[in-house]
A and B are shown apart, each in its own frame.
Chain A
């Protein structure tokens, strides 16, 4: 039978509330009472378990869901889930009619590709499949310029951003790695529009686009490609801001200047 006084002391000790004298008293008691020592060991082990289990990151779309409910905002959120496998896509989309259309499209696509193909600009990073469609064809009509890289190594987040742009298209390749959830905010002037964002291999992210602001909610490691449209002739500035739990971690202004 363990003296209730010492059970109280054991709990106090676990909570870090024992005085030196109480700790010493408890230690002495535990030495003399193996049953109590074993009980105390069990309690300590339970308390330790909590320390081994980390906090969960809330899903990326939760914040936007809350704001939608509270302020009645329309669904501007783009949330991704793990992409279906190739076979899932085939199974869900391929019927006979679709197969004919697909085959016809493929033939036309091959012809167009052959006619239009040219090498992509060197050093393009990020999602190359998509950059071909934006910058590579633009390269015929104008030079592809670069801004960056902007590299950052902060306490909880690291990454790099490269911008490549022509006179009317800006493609940003963003590499992010963070243990906890962060918000990456792009602020851009009125002459630009945010065309879209693609994540390469991301499981969980959310994007909210408002007037002249695109806000990406991110956790983990992932590469993104963001595309802006609009004239870069007037040397627009894109601001990159990174927040964690409401704190501003990084603020960079990216100047897009034509030669």
Chain B
């Protein structure tokens, strides 16, 4: 995908293609509908503003996902600094009906993900929700394939332990 600043059509294509996945990654990462909207918006604005810094030798998707992941991390750090904004608050935010309609499993899984450390959570989300390969995840996060694998395995194992602790047995 090639973009140049000011090219509205190209930017529209970018939004068409990445808006939904970026929004989903952001939502899974921060577990808040409004925040996910803000992250998605900021990611696209930053992508557009920094198009001249984009290195075409790297894949475009990894660049835009990287921006979204960094934005999610920034927001989580901000939340930690804010004593008023705890996890319950985030869970209590407006979420779409569809999300609730997906039953217990969706909520249980999201709760479990939120218990994981950010480094593990992001790898698990990119692997399982976005179906990226180890290599692609490594490119997005700027880590080696080996580290990706190691974080994924640990994240999965921790998620399993959390869910078992919460009584999820299948």
Contacts and interface: CB of A to CB of B under 8 A. Distances in A.
A119 interface: no
B109 A53 contact: yes
B55 to A, nearest CB: 21
A66 B99 contact: no
Contact of B41 (A55, A65, A246): A65
Contact of A8 (B19, B109, B153): B153
Contacts, number: 102
A55 B24 contact: yes
B27 interface: yes
Interface string A40-81: 001101111110111111110011011101110000000000
A238 B164 CA distance: 57
A161 B40 CA distance: 33
A45 B24 CA distance: 22
Given A58-B20, A63-B19, A11 B152 contact: yes
Given A50-B128, A56-B99, A57-B98, A7 B23 contact: no
A15 interface: yes
A138 interface: no
Contacts of A218: none
Contacts of A47: 128, 156
Interface range for B: 35 or more
Contacts of A175: none
A219 B56 CA distance: 34
Q: Could you tell me the dominant secondary structure of chain A's interface residues?
A: helix
7 contacts: A45-B168, A52-B102, A55-B24, A66-B15, A69-B45, A70-B44, A245-B20
Interface in A1-35: 7-8, 11, 14-15
Nearest to A54: B102
Contacts of B17: 245-246
A45 B157 CA distance: 11
Minimum-distance CB pairs A-B, first 4: A246-B16, A50-B128, A58-B23, A45-B170
Given A66-B45, A70-B44, A42 B160 contact: yes
Given A8-B153, A66-B15, A70-B48, A15 B127 contact: yes
Interface in B41-66: 41, 44-45, 48
Interface range for A: 35 or more
B24 A66 contact: no
A241 interface: no
A63 B15 contact: yes
B159 A46 contact: yes
Contacts of B77: none
B8 interface: yes
Interface of A: 7-8, 11, 14-15, 42-43, 45-50, 52-59, 62-63, 65-67, 69-71, 180-181, 203-204, 243, 245-246
B126 to A, nearest CB: 11
Contacts of A203: 97
The listed residue with most B CB atoms (<10 A of its CB), out of A7, A15, A53, A69, is A53
Given A55-B20, A69-B41, 19 more contacts: A11-B149, A11-B152, A43-B157, A46-B160, A47-B156, A49-B108, A50-B128, A54-B98, A56-B27, A56-B98, A58-B23, A59-B37, A59-B96, A65-B41, A66-B19, A70-B45, A245-B16, A246-B12, A246-B17
A71 B152 CA distance: 39
A17 to B, nearest CB: 9
A55 B23 CA distance: 9
A65 B152 contact: no
Contacts of A65: 37, 41
A245 B102 CA distance: 23
B105 interface: yes
Given A7-B153, A53-B102, A71-B8, A62 B37 contact: yes
A8 B149 CA distance: 9
